[in-house]
Amino acid sequence: MDEPIKRSEAIEREYTQAVIYGIVGLVALVLTFLFWRYGGMFYSFSWGFGLVWLGSWGYAAWSFYKTTRVPAYPVECPFCHKENILTGPPQSDFACEHCGRRVPIENGRVLEVIAVKCPHCGSMEQVSVKATTAICEQCQREFPIRATGRVPADMPLPQDDPTPYELVLLGIDRRHEEQALQALARFLDLTRTDAKKLLESVPIVLLTNLPRRKAEGYVRELSEQGVQVEARRIEDPNRVPTPWN
């Protein structure tokens, strides 16, 4: 089933056609004048280009008129609660132009949204009632929704651990040394040589004052590439650790 058409896209399509045919008509008008004025034995061509000119501008005017007649059907996104203006009642899911989430549609109506808890990091994610799996926006892991407890969508989302964390480099996996060095260099926006020099001072703080989930996300990302890092809590609120840079 085709995705619903947004009103802005329909207007843009008609407007584009009006401009294209307007340009074609303008070219035909110029050729009409040239063949009429200087055509000589090809004078009759001016009549053909004249018809193209009139037809093109007529169609351009019709397309421009249709931009004012495109119907408007507002549909509210259940995730961000902003309106998407469509050309008619939706019959299938579509992407919200504001938040990018897929608006769930069934039998021409918008389905409700529920909140589910990610079993990996504990964050709450909003999904449609017909979804069977979800991808956590915090840890980027996919999980089955039936394996988690469904809760009302308006339930307050839990706050992250307020304690700041620091990301500490411990070393690299020597079995994948080149891969780990390249991953570390990309992560810190360094050259391979500079990344290798950091290993001479391990353990060393790479980043500091991070939220717990972000710090744990960095650990997962780098560990998969062979970089040995650790997320450590900064227990002393008066301590302001200085990272390597």
For residue 181, the domain's CATH number is: 3.30.1390.10
Q: Do 77 and 145 sit in the same domain of this protein?
A: yes
C-alpha 144 chain-centroid distance? 23
Look at residue 141 in the predicted model and tell me its pLDDT: 78
**130 lies in a domain?**
yes
Look at residue 54 in the predicted model and tell me its pLDDT: 93
Residues ≥6 apart with Cβ < 8 Å to 192: 181, 182, 185
Residue 115: what residue type?
A
By CB atoms closer than 10 A (0-12, 13-18, 19+), residue 86 is buried
Other Cβ atoms closer than 10 A to 20: 14
Q: Do 26 and 94 sit in the same domain of this protein?
A: no
Q: Which residues pair with 86 in a beta bridge?
A: 6, 73
By CB atoms closer than 10 A (0-12, 13-18, 19+), residue 205 is middle
Look at residue 147 in the predicted model and tell me its pLDDT: 41
Look at residue 238 in the predicted model and tell me its pLDDT: 57
Residue 194: what residue type?
D
Look at residue 24 in the predicted model and tell me its pLDDT: 94
Look at residue 18 in the predicted model and tell me its pLDDT: 94
Domain boundary among 66, 89, 112: 66
**142 lies in a domain?**
yes
In the block, residue with structure tokens 């990091």 = 121
Domain boundary among 66, 95, 114: 66
Look at residue 27 in the predicted model and tell me its pLDDT: 94
Domain count, the chain: 3
**229 lies in a domain?**
yes
Question: For residue 191, what are its two tokens?
Answer: 């050259």
Domain boundary among 151, 179, 201: 151
Q: Do 119 and 170 sit in the same domain of this protein?
A: no
d(CA 60, CA 52): 12
**What pTM, to 2 d.p., does this model score?**
0.49
Look at residue 154 in the predicted model and tell me its pLDDT: 46
d(CA 134, CA 120): 12
CA-nearest of 201, 202, 208, 195 to 243 is 208
Q: Name residues of the chain where pLDDT drops below 70.
A: 1-2, 146-162, 236-245
Other Cβ atoms closer than 10 A to 150: 13
Find the domain containing 114 and state its range.
73-151
